[in-house]
């Protein structure tokens, strides 16, 4: 049983401690918002186990300085494993210091409570097990609190419930271990010690599971809030383009009426120029004057009418596609590019967007082009190139724009360099693509940023339209 008490349990405690530290570092880096497989570099799967095994092996030497050095090498190991920015090493160092101080404070507090008779166990082996359990659970609790504090500093929402849950379970685990050890000293049998070991392993597993469960619940709450925010913004965008469509329809009617009036005026001027009386008046004389009045400048009138026609044509929308809503969006973005001095090159093939809800069409194309125009406007020779086509059963959307400065790469994606830019548009795009079983690839190379989107263009328009009507209701 000495092997179990003095070798197996300390090794389990060390593995639990170091594993908890790497998990806390994972939470600090903000990577727990995405699946582990997609969000953690492959090298981490080799670095983390290797570091834990080396530290556990050195802990057998019983040298305090060796253990202390291995603990303070943790920031470098975590930074290398997760590939976070260098300033995160400061957060990892704070975590190491907090764990070390908790370890020292936990041992001193345990000795004081034992000496004072508050914690009474008559067997030194049981006191040793309790000391290991208390210090490790206290360290685990501190790790969670430090991770939450760093998360709050980096802008993540931390609730009082999360803090309370992170504290209560480790405290309960310590109390449970003390009760179990108290019972063992009454019936000190091998079977009881074996059950004690199983109980300790299950407590460790319960703490890990509960911690992950709290993270999942918190992440779901955050994603739900973000989803509501995305829907609100997409709905506002859609309402804006609906208003633009109403204005466009009204302007088309007005332009049609004005054009009819101008054509009527041109017909009257043509009749006067031909010497034909208008409204039964006297015919014009040889100089084009009717009844002694001044001659009519028919050439100037025709030129003026032509100028008005060209002015009215400028109010009409350019034709990009037969998809009405997409055509309005592209015309709106084309005007924005013209205003910002960005060269526009947008072409849409023959396709149908009936499989998409109108709000999703707005969310996808408006945000893709907004991001492209914003980056191109800051470039020396700004341009935006859009290509939309149907490829077999897929809708292909490619947006290419000039981007002189390389965007920031973070968590496997790109992030804008604009101050205060939270990347909300990109998140809305990703959420929209996921709804249609699609995929997006982002790339930057030699001053050119490219976004390629593929959507499964299945004939599911009725389902999506009905869902949209239910949401509106």
Q: Could you tell me the residue range of the domain that residue 470 belongs to?
A: 320-473
pTM exceeds 0.75, yes or no: no
CA-closest candidate to residue 218, choices 229, 228, 226, 208: 226
Domain assignment of residue 255, yes or no: no
Q: 458 and 328 in one domain? A: yes
Q: 353 and 227 in one domain? A: no
Domain assignment of residue 249, yes or no: no
**What are the angstrom distances between the C-alpha of 240 and each of 246, 315, 320, 359, 407?**
10, 18, 20, 11, 29
Domain CATH code at residue 389: 3.30.565.10
The pLDDT of residue 343:
93
Last residue of a domain, one of 232, 258, 277: 232
The residue behind tokens 């009257």 is 268
Domain assignment of residue 288, yes or no: no
Q: 215 and 68 in one domain? A: yes
> 209 with 217: CB under 8 angstroms?
no
| CA atoms of 33 and 226, how far apart (whole Å) | 12
Q: 329 and 197 in one domain? A: no
Report mean pLDDT in 10-residue bins for the chain, 473 residues: 72 86 84 53 86 86 79 90 86 91 87 81 80 85 84 64 76 84 79 79 81 74 70 68 63 62 61 52 48 52 58 62 84 88 91 85 88 90 92 90 80 55 71 87 89 78 45 45
Which residues, at least 6 apart from 299, have a Cβ–Cβ distance to it below 8 Å? none
Domain assignment of residue 246, yes or no: no
Domain assignment of residue 262, yes or no: no
Domain assignment of residue 118, yes or no: yes
Last residue of a domain, one of 232, 252, 274: 232
Q: 330 and 218 in one domain? A: no
Q: What is the CA radius of gyration of the chain?
A: 36
- CB burial class (10 A; 0-12, 13-18, 19+) of residue 246? exposed
Tally of domains in the chain: 2
Which residues, at least 6 apart from 418, have a Cβ–Cβ distance to it below 8 Å? 374
Q: 332 and 225 in one domain? A: no
Q: 324 and 228 in one domain? A: no
Domain assignment of residue 86, yes or no: yes
Domain assignment of residue 273, yes or no: no
The pLDDT of residue 421:
46
Q: 343 and 196 in one domain? A: no
What residue ranges in 91-178 does DSSP mark as E strands?
Answer: none
The pLDDT of residue 160:
74
Q: 336 and 221 in one domain? A: no
């Amino acid at each position: 049983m000495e092997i179990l008490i003095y070798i197996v349990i300390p090794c389990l405690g060390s593995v639990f401690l170091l594993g908890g530290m790497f998990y806390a570092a994972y939470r600090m880096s903000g990577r727990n918002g995405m699946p582990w497989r997609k969000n953690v570099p492959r090298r981490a799967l080799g670095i983390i186990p290797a570091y834990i095994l080396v530290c556990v092996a050195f802990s057998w030497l019983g040298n305090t300085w060796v253990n202390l050095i291995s603990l303070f090498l943790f920031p470098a190991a975590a930074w290398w494993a997760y590939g976070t920015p260098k300033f995160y090493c400061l957060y990892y160092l704070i975590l190491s210091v907090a764990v070390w101080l908790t370890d020292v404070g936990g041992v001193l507090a345990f000795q004081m409570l034992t000496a004072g008779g508050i914690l009474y166990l008559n067997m030194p082996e049981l006191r040793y097990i309790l000391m290991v359990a208390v210090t490790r659970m206290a360290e685990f609790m501190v790790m969670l609190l430090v991770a939450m504090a760093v998360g709050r500093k980096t802008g993540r929402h931390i609730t009082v419930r999360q803090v309370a849950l992170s504290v209560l379970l480790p405290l309960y685990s310590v109390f449970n271990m003390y009760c179990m050890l108290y019972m063992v000293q009454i019936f000190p049998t091998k079977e009881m010690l074996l059950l004690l070991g199983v109980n300790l392993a299950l407590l460790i597993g319960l703490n890990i599971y509960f911690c992950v469960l709290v993270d999942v619940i918190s992440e779901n709450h955050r994603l739900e809030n973000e989803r509501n925010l995305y829907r609100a913004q997409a709905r506002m965008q859609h309402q804006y383009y609906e208003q633009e469509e109403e204005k466009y329809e009204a302007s088309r009617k007005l332009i049609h009426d004005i054009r009819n009036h101008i054509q009527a005026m041109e017909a009257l001027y043509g009749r006067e120029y031909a010497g034909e009386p208008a409204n039964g008046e006297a015919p014009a004389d040889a100089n084009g004057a009717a009844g002694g009045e001044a001659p009519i400048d028919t050439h100037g009138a025709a030129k003026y009418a032509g100028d008005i026609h060209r002015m009215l044509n400028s109010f009409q929308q350019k034709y990009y596609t037969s998809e009405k809503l997409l055509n309005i969006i592209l015309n709106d973005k084309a005007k924005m590019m013209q205003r910002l001095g960005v060269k526009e090159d947008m072409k849409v093939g023959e396709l149908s967007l009936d499989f998409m809800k109108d709000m999703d069409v707005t969310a996808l194309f408006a945000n893709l082009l907004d991001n492209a125009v914003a980056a191109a406007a800051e470039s020396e020779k700004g341009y935006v190139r859009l290509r939309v086509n149907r490829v077999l059963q897929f809708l292909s959307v490619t947006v290419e724009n000039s981007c002189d400065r390389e965007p920031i790469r973070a968590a496997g994606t790109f992030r804008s360099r604009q101050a205060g830019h939270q990347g909300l548009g990109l998140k809305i795009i990703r959420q929209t693509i996921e709804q249609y079983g699609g995929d997006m690839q982002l790339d930057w190379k030699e001053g050119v940023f490219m976004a390629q989107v593929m959507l499964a263009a299945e004939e599911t328009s009725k389902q999506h339209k009905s869902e949209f009507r239910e949401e509106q209701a």
